């Protein structure tokens, strides 16, 4: 049986050359693009939008076993202060309930009813915290938490508060980590 004749493969048609893409009209010399960006940012501001280079502020939180809002050195050596259990509870309460100025509005009576203990026990606990300068009384019913303990080291809030309080306050209320007997003999 005779096979049909095969036709040779035809060469493909020549590809058409495309013309170059023209540049966008608003990027003529770089100045126009900056003007366009400025106009877009102004439109965003008029519509009530905000533009910020600061990262989003996260709420106060404990992540795992690490207390993330304190200086790592203070946190690592907190056991050396030998705070009572109630003093640690008061310190944790103050750390969780302070404002941007590291102020905590609380009375000893309200804390005593919250923790279910006597007001004298709360008074001794606050005395322990004051002795080591973790917190001090600003006025009746208002205590200030030390900025080195209340905020993460080097954070925007900590730097702002340190500048506001000034060097005198920080030298007056310096937190000194006590030596433990075993470390003192080395």
* Domain boundaries defined on the chain: 72-184
CA-closest candidate to residue 108, choices 96, 122, 118: 122
Q: Give tens-digit pLDDT for 60-91.
A: 444 344 444 446 778 788 899 999 999 999 99
Residues of the chain under the 50 pLDDT cut? 59-70
Pick the CATH number of 72-184 from 3.90.660.10, 1.10.10.10, 3.90.1280.10, 1.20.1070.10: 1.10.10.10
CA distance 108 to 58: 30
Q: Please state the pTM of the whole predicted model.
A: 0.57
């Amino acid at each position: 049986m005779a096979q049909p004749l095969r036709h040779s493969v035809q060469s493909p048609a020549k590809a058409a050359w495309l013309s170059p893409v023209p540049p966008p009209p608003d990027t003529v010399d770089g100045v126009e693009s900056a003007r366009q960006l400025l106009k877009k940012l102004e439109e965003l501001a008029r519509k009530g939008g905000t533009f910020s280079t600061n990262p989003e502020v996260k709420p106060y939180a404990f992540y795992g076993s690490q207390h993330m809002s304190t200086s790592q050195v203070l946190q690592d050596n907190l056991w050396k202060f030998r705070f009572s259990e109630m003093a640690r509870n008061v310190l944790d309460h103050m750390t969780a309930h302070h404002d941007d100025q590291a102020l905590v509005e609380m009375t000893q009576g309200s804390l005593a009813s919250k923790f279910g203990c006597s007001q004298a026990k709360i008074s001794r606990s606050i005395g322990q915290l004051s002795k080591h300068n973790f917190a001090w009384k600003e006025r009746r019913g208002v205590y200030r938490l030390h900025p080195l303990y209340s905020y993460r080291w080097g954070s925007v809030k900590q730097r702002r508060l340190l500048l506001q309080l000034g060097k005198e306050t920080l030298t007056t209320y310096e937190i000194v980590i006590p030596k433990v007997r075993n470390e003192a003999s080395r």
